[in-house]
Amino acid sequence: MLRKILGLKPACGGRNFVRNSSAAIMPPCNHKPKPYAGPNFEKVKKIKQENLVPCLLTYYRKPLLIHEGKMQWLFDHEGRRYLDMFGGIVTVSVGHCHPRVTDAAVQQMNQLWHTTNIYMHPKIHEYAETLAEKFPGELKVFYFVNSGSEANDLALFMARAHTKNSEVVSLRNGYHGMSPYIMGATALSTWKYNVNTGGGVHHTMNPDVYRGTWGGSRCRDSPVQTTRECTCTPETCEAAEHYYEQLQDVFRYSLPSGHVGAFIAESIQGVGGTVQFPKGYLKKAYEIVKANGGVCIADEVQTGFGRTGEHFWGFEMHGVTPDIVTMAKGMGNGFPMAGVVTTPAIAQSLSTALHFNTFGGNPVASAVGKAVLEVIEEEQLQRNCEVVGTHLLKGLAQLRSEFEEVVGDVRGKGLMVGVELVADPLTRAPLSSTNFVDIWEDCKDMGVLLGRGGLNGNVLRIKPPMCITAADADFTVEVLRKALSNHLQKKRKHLS
């Protein structure tokens, strides 16, 4: 296993596509995809245009038609291979079509697909018992749903029902989902519609130590710090204190007599661009919320299941214990499942009326979820996230040193990584969309698929399947190095 973590033995090896002779050689893979037999590329584009809603985002100027996946690899309709460094938006946790998870799904489908929870069936009980072992204290009562938006929606509803207070506080730049109820807690304007959504939510200043008002080189719990200077000490983070004062002002001025129903925050902001909070901030935020009658919700939709490496749940890195935790994405390795866990007392709040989710805790979903937990444990994927993620972060930090005029910040923990691209390193002005897409597209053409995030769409989101190796990380760094070099050559040629 250690050889795999260190990248000495790739997860698979063999066939390779080289798109650019100046780029690093793609790590080998011996998986041979089946010949594509679906509608041709142009037919798929036509169907998308005529039969799918236009808000369904497709990456890249020349979109990909993906038809097969194996562990950290994806294959397009022409058989080209790509290293998936985004994991289907932080969703493929243990690897595409992992045989252990696939077998669990097939075996359950051959036995019992669905009954819903009007009857007892063993899988949901087996899964709940196994998952409960991963949580501290009284966090042991689950409600299973189908997506992160549903989970956060339910968590907010549950908190309000329990506290009898409707006011909610969330962070600017936070993303919690797109259902009309939870959209009120999402505070990214690019994800907001001009219609009434969940009300009673107050957004406080985002504690961003790179782009925010305060913060610097001693503020983050990360192998890579921002280059901004600060006077913080190992014991005290001044940035956390300043951002906490802004949160205090929300309680003073915006909440009725300071009463609050809930506070919701991601452990590391995902869609917002892998933003990490200053050390100690979240702990102080939890304290003021609980002192004013509220409950604290940890959104672990992207940071959960070992992705941050050092801990199984992101909230653990902040030294806090939430009252409610939401989870999804990596929970099912791509299978549509999500969940909410809370204390027995808070769970009781849903007993005042009927509340039901037809597919939540479905036998197949529960079998898949249990298999995912077993694979994470047996293949030491949390440890892999810590080792390979730190290796990747340090490689990306070297790119920041080499390309400081365009790489503004490198941040993250484990395999939850962000690279912020800028037009000016002093003002931190975001790189234009056109230039960003040039770099992004170039990486894709050299075989590496990266995500995109941040309010301005200028952050490379790197959240791959947790089975990647150090060799995959090195390949990613080399491809990005070449793409950044191409960008700067093009820029200098244009200026000359």
- How much is the pLDDT for 21? 44
Q: Give residue-wise pLDDT tens across range 260-301.
A: 999 999 999 999 999 999 999 999 999 999 999 999 999 999
- Could you give the CA distance from residue 278 to residue 239 in angstroms, rounded to a whole number? 6
How many CA atoms does the CB half-sphere of 290 hold within 13 Å?
13
Owner of token pair 């079509």: 97
Burial of residue 358, with CB atoms counted within 10 A of its CB: 0-12 exposed, 13-18 middle, 19 or more buried: exposed
CA distances from residue 221 to 209, 225, 226, 246, 266 in whole angstroms, order as listed: 11, 8, 11, 21, 15
- Work out whether the CA dihedral 137, 142, 148, 151 comes out positive or negative: negative
Superfamily holding 380-496: Aspartate Aminotransferase, domain 1 (3.90.1150.10)
* Terminal-residue alpha carbon distance, the chain: 52
Domain boundaries, the chain: 100-378, 380-496
The total of other beta-carbon atoms located within 10 Å of residue 249's CB is 12
- How much is the pLDDT for 258? 80
Pairing of strands 295-299, 451-453: unpaired
- Could you give the CA distance from residue 166 to residue 157 in angstroms, rounded to a whole number? 9
For 100-378, CATH number?
Answer: 3.40.640.10
- How much is the pLDDT for 23? 57
Q: Give residue-wise pLDDT tens across range 303-361.
A: 999 999 999 999 999 999 999 999 999 999 999 999 999 999 999 999 999 888 999 99
The total of other beta-carbon atoms located within 10 Å of residue 470's CB is 20
Q: Show pLDDT as tens, one digit a residue, over the chain (496 residues).
A: 433 444 434 344 434 444 444 557 999 999 999 999 999 999 999 999 999 999 998 999 999 999 999 999 999 999 999 999 999 999 999 999 999 999 999 999 999 999 988 999 999 999 999 999 999 999 999 999 999 999 999 999 999 999 999 999 999 999 999 999 999 999 999 999 999 988 899 999 999 999 999 999 999 999 999 999 998 887 889 999 999 999 999 999 999 988 999 999 999 999 999 999 999 999 999 999 999 999 999 999 999 999 999 999 999 999 999 999 999 999 999 999 999 999 999 999 999 998 889 999 999 999 999 999 999 999 999 999 999 999 999 999 999 999 999 999 999 999 999 999 999 999 999 999 999 999 999 999 999 999 999 999 999 999 999 999 999 999 999 999 999 999 999 988 888 7
- Could you give the CA distance from residue 82 to residue 25 in angstroms, rounded to a whole number? 12
- How much is the pLDDT for 491? 87
